[in-house]
C-alpha cells in the first residue's frame, strides 16, 4: 500500500477514515429523512387542521389531471335530526357541478313511523335532483328499504343513472312524507361523485 512522506497510507481509506465517512453519510441521510418526514407531517396536519377534509383542501377538481376519489358520507339519525315531515338537512354539501356516480346507504337502526310505518322517505339533492338518490319509498315497503343492512341507491355506476349535475353547492337532505313523522332510526349514506364544468 502506498505511503506518503509522513508514512501514512495513501490511495486507500483506512478503516478509521471509512467508518468516519460512513457515519457522516448516515447522519446526512437521517437528517434528510427527518426533514422530509416532518415536512410531510406538517402538510398532513395543515390538510386536516380542523379535523375535516374539504373540497378546497382536495384541490381544483374540474381540471384535467389525476384526482383523489371523492366520497360524500352523511348520516341521518333520529336522535339528532328528529323526524318531522318535510325536508331534513343532512349537513354535507356537494360542490357546484357535482355528479353522483355511485351511492348506497347502510341502515344502522331500523326506521319507524306511526302506525303501519306509512311514512315515505327520499334522499335528495335539493333543487337539482329531488328524490334523485333514493326515490320516495314507504318504511312499510315489502323490500324492507329502511331495515338494517346495506341498500342500493339509484346511482349504480352506470351513466344512465348518474345524478343530475348540481347547478350550485347543494346540501344533501331527506324528505319525509306519507302523512307520518319518523319516530326512530339511523342510516349512513355514501355517495361517490365527480366534479364537471
Q: By CB neighbour count within 10 A (0-12 exposed, 13-18 middle, 19+ buried), where does 90 fall?
A: buried
Lowest mean pLDDT among 11-15, 107-111, 165-169: 11-15
Mean pLDDT, residues 38-59: 65
- Cα 38 to the center of its chain, rounded Å: 25
Q: Is the pLDDT of residue 11 over 90?
A: no
Phi first, then psi: give them for residue 15, nearest 5 degrees: -55, -40
CA dihedral 151, 152, 153, 158 (to 10 degrees): 170
Q: Is the pLDDT of residue 25 over 60?
A: no
Q: Which residues have CB under 8 Å from 152's CB, separation 6+?
A: 104
Q: How far is CA 182 from CA 84, 87, 116, 135, in A?
A: 6, 12, 12, 17
Q: What is the pLDDT of residues 92-105, one digit of tens each?
A: 999 999 999 999 99
Q: What's residue 87's pLDDT? A: 98
What one-character DSSP code corresponds to residue 104?
E
Lowest mean pLDDT among 18-22, 86-90, 167-171: 18-22
For residues 33 and 151, the model is more confident at 151
- Cα Rg, the chain, nearest whole Å: 29
Closest CA to 193 of 69, 90, 54: 69
Percent of the chain's residues with pLDDT above 90 = 64
Closest CA to 191 of 175, 164, 172, 167: 172
* Separation CA 45–CA 121 (nearest Å): 39
Enter the C-alpha cell of residue 50.
380542523
The CATH code that applies to domain 63-195 is 2.60.120
Q: What is the pLDDT of residues 59-78, one digit of tens each?
A: 666 778 877 889 999 999 99
Task: Give domain limits for the chain.
Answer: 1-51, 63-195
Mean pLDDT, residues 97-114: 97
Predicted structure pTM score:
0.72
Q: How far is CA 187 from CA 24, 38, 74, 111, 150, in A?
A: 58, 39, 9, 8, 10
Phi first, then psi: give them for residue 70, nearest 5 degrees: -115, 125
Amino acid at each position: 500500500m502506498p505511503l506518503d512522506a509522513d508514512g501514512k497510507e495513501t490511495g486507500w481509506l483506512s478503516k478509521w477514515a471509512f467508518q468516519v465517512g460512513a457515519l457522516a453519510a448516515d447522519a446526512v441521510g437521517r437528517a434528510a429523512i427527518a426533514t422530509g418526514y416532518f415536512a410531510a407531517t406538517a402538510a398532513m396536519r395543515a390538510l386536516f387542521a380542523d379535523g375535516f377534509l374539504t373540497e378546497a383542501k382536495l384541490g381544483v377538481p374540474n381540471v384535467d389531471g389525476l384526482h383523489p376519489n371523492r366520497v360524500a358520507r352523511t348520516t341521518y339519525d333520529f336522535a339528532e335530526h328528529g323526524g318531522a315531515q318535510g325536508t331534513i338537512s343532512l349537513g354535507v354539501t356537494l360542490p357546484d357541478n357535482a355528479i353522483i356516480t355511485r351511492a348506497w346507504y347502510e341502515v344502522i337502526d331500523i326506521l319507524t313511523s306511526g302506525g303501519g310505518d306509512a311514512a315515505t322517505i327520499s334522499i335528495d339533492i335539493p333543487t337539482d335532483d329531488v328524490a334523485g338518490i333514493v326515490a320516495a319509498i314507504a318504511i312499510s315497503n315489502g323490500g324492507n328499504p329502511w331495515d338494517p343492512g346495506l341498500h342500493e341507491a339509484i346511482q349504480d355506476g352506470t351513466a344512465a343513472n348518474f345524478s343530475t349535475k348540481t347547478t350550485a353547492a347543494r346540501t344533501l337532505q331527506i324528505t319525509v312524507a306519507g302523512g307520518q313523522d319518523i319516530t326512530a332510526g339511523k342510516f349512513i349514506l355514501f355517495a361517490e361523485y365527480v366534479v364537471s364544468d
